[in-house]
Amino acid sequence: MATASSPPRSSRQAARRAESRAGDHRVRPERRSSLVYLAALASLPLLIYLLAPILGLMARITPRSYACCWEAASALRLSLFTASISLVIAILIGTPVAYWLSHYHFRGKDVIDTLIDLPLVLPPVAAGLALLLLYGQQGFGALLATHDLRLSFTRAAVVMAQVFVASPFYVKQARAGFEAVPRELRLASATLGAGPLRTFFRVTVPLAGHALIAGAVMTWARALGEFGATLMFAGAFPGRTETMPVAIYTPASAGTEEGLRTSIALAVVLVVVSFAVIVLARRLAGRTLYLTPTA
């Protein structure tokens, strides 16, 4: 008569290990939730610190603030105009650099990367001083003055300062977008007879379009909010070189109630625009490229 035999010891040990692992999996989500709650609690001081000044600024807004804001309409128009011109220049000079860095390897590439990143960490005031020394009366400005030309303390200086500090944002985003385009697609385009320019405009640019647009939006926003380099290189002449950030500083520094209201109104406009730009740029940059394989 056949009798039921007990499972071997190795089988029992394997079963115990399986039960132990199952118990660990049941415990891990609870530990993970506790860690998430602890991290959220620890994040509150930073979030409150970042949010409180903005809420305080919003709380000081009154209809009378925007009545005063109309006096600074020229600064708003100048900022929008110069930021748009700076964006166009950044795209024209930044796109070739981004494509070059994304598709070619050569000696000195790290040095060029560092030079492009330098305006991101360089204090804007130092950047404005460097531009003033190079293109002012102590530099090329003296040569231009002999031909009745001047760059410093003009609207051209505003654009030059904005391009200097904002163009790296476009180059970084554009380079990331170009690097995300599969090399096989560019090779396939060349195999089908398309030249380099046709491949670039018909294949590379459409596939990297979201990154290019995100970089353009961030560049425009950075140019719109530029203050230090503009103040040093272009000055703060009302109606000529006084941009919106400079217009925020000038009335507030006067110490008058009316000036403070104007500064608050302009600052709120910049906060709203900056928030909208960040949301738009994140949505555009967050879209990934999906390729459907063909049969």
Which residues 6+ apart lie within 8 Å of 259 measured at CB?
A: 250, 251, 252, 253
125: its two tokens: 């005031």
CA pair distance 149, 157, nearest whole angstrom: 12
**What's the pLDDT at 101?**
93
| pTM, rounded to two decimals | 0.77
User: Quick one: DSSP state of residue 290?
Assistant: -
CA pair distance 267, 162, nearest whole angstrom: 19
Kindly list the domain boundaries of the chain, sorted by start residue: 73-286
CA pair distance 186, 172, nearest whole angstrom: 21
Query: For the chain, how big is the Rg over CA atoms in Å?
Result: 28
**What's the pLDDT at 12?**
57
- Cα 118 to chain center, whole Å? 14
Query: Residue 223 in contact with residue 87, Cβ under 8 Å?
Result: yes
- Write the CA distances from 228 to 20, 185, 236, integer angstroms: 61, 44, 11
**What's the pLDDT at 30?**
60
Look up the CATH superfamily of 73-286: MetI-like (1.10.3720.10)
42: its two tokens: 């620890």
**Dmax of the chain from CA atoms?**
118
**What's the pLDDT at 291?**
44
Walking along the chain (295 residues) 10 residues at a time, the average pLDDT comes out as: 50 58 53 80 90 86 64 80 95 95 89 92 93 88 82 93 95 94 88 88 91 91 92 89 88 75 82 81 60 41
- Cα 192 to chain center, whole Å? 37
Output b/e per residue, 144-178; b: 16+ Cβ within 10 A. beeeeeebbbbbbbbbbbbbbbbbbbbbbbbbbbb
